[in-house]
Amino acid sequence: MLRTPTGGAGHGTATAGERLMSIGTVLSQLRDEFPEVTISKIRFLEAEGLVEPRRTPSGYRKFSPGDVERLAQVLRMQRDHYLPLKVIREHLDAQARGEQAQLPAQGVQRELCQWTTGDFDAERPTAARVGRPELLAAAEVSEAELDEWESYGLLARDGNGGYDAESVTVARLVADLGKFGLEPRHLRAMKAAADREAGLVEQVVAPLRRHRNPQTRAHAEATTKELAALSVRLHAALVQTALGVRLH
């Protein structure tokens, strides 16, 4: 279990007498219960607004026991309930305000359809699999177009002739890019880049799936989604930087 005092300060604060900790110390305390946690993970949760450590004049993070306990709560809700970070943040903030907050129903299916963008408010498919007629109707494309996209490896059917829910998004995006004159053959480089990024994620997650701790193995799927979301965000930022695009 987590070795932190209870009854400490709230989100991002410390009371008199509490010992502030470095991120390395926080990591060592969390790893007793969460062996897969990393410094990058803690920084990611900070960037997402889940914890607000103090900063020294030289910029170093300093965490209170309350910060560490909040991080542990976040990690537990991710591991045990597979909740999106936005939902976790709202739940913990409600608790900090003294509200009687109950955990929402597990949103695994909704999150599975939304992790690629990190936008948990977007309207996205909820079915685990879709058939070919449903995909054609949802993407508003013809049989010939779908056949061509499959020939270039942009979409693929499973053994039962169906598609995963994200294929609807892929099909719509390919169709939208086609309106600008980008043909499937032009998109092979994007598919190859996506495959390489997926390979990198697999390298990171593979040790978690082989871990002796059952909780760590169960957490591999959530870790995969998080790494994939970070990869997509980085890819988008790099493209915007390369093109000199500034979004407002």
Tell me the per-residue pLDDT of 36-71, one tens digit each, with 9 for 90 and over: 888 888 988 898 889 999 999 888 999 999 999 999
CA-CA distance, 8 to 242, in Å (whole number)? 46
Residue in the block written with tokens 């949760």: 45
> Rounded to two decimals, what is the model's pTM?
0.48
CA-CA distance, 226 to 209, in Å (whole number)? 15
Asked if residues 2 and 69 have their Cβ atoms less than 8 Å apart, the reply is: yes
The string of pLDDT tens digits covering residues 138-177 is 777 889 999 999 999 999 988 888 888 788 889 888 988 8
How would you class 222 by CB atoms within 10 Å of its CB: exposed for 0-12, middle for 13-18, buried for 19 or more? buried
Residue in the block written with tokens 């010992």: 19
Give the residue range(s) of CATH 1.10.1660.10 domains in the chain.
Answer: 23-106
- The one-letter code for the residue type at 6 is T
The fold of 23-106 is: Multidrug-efflux Transporter Regulator; Chain: A; Domain 2 (1.10.1660)
The string of pLDDT tens digits covering residues 103-140 is 654 443 344 334 433 444 444 444 457 888 888 887 77
The string of pLDDT tens digits covering residues 196-207 is 998 988 888 888
Tokens of 195: 């495959």
Phi (first) and psi of residue 163, to 5 degrees: -135, 155
Higher pLDDT, 15 or 141: 141
Asked if residues 233 and 115 have their Cβ atoms less than 8 Å apart, the reply is: no
Higher pLDDT, 195 or 117: 195
Question: How high is the mean pLDDT of the chain?
Answer: 78
CATH number assigned to the domain with residue range 129-243, chosen from the 4 options 1.10.1660, 1.10.260, 1.10.287, 2.40.128:
1.10.1660
Tokens of 217: 């193995």
The string of pLDDT tens digits covering residues 17-44 is 568 999 999 999 999 898 888 888 898 8
pLDDT of residue 206: 87
The DSSP annotation for the chain comes to -----SS---TT---TTPPPB-HHHHHHHHTTT-TT--HHHHHHHHHTTS---EE-TT--EEB-HHHHHHHHHHHHHHHHH---HHHHHHHHHHHHTT----PPPP-HHHHHTTTTTT-TTS-----SEE-HHHHHHHHT--HHHHHHHHHTTSS---TTS-EETHHHHHHHHHHHHHTTT--GGGGHHHHHHHHHHHHHHHHHHHHHHT-SSHHHHHTHHHHHHHHHHHHHHHHHHHHHHHHT----
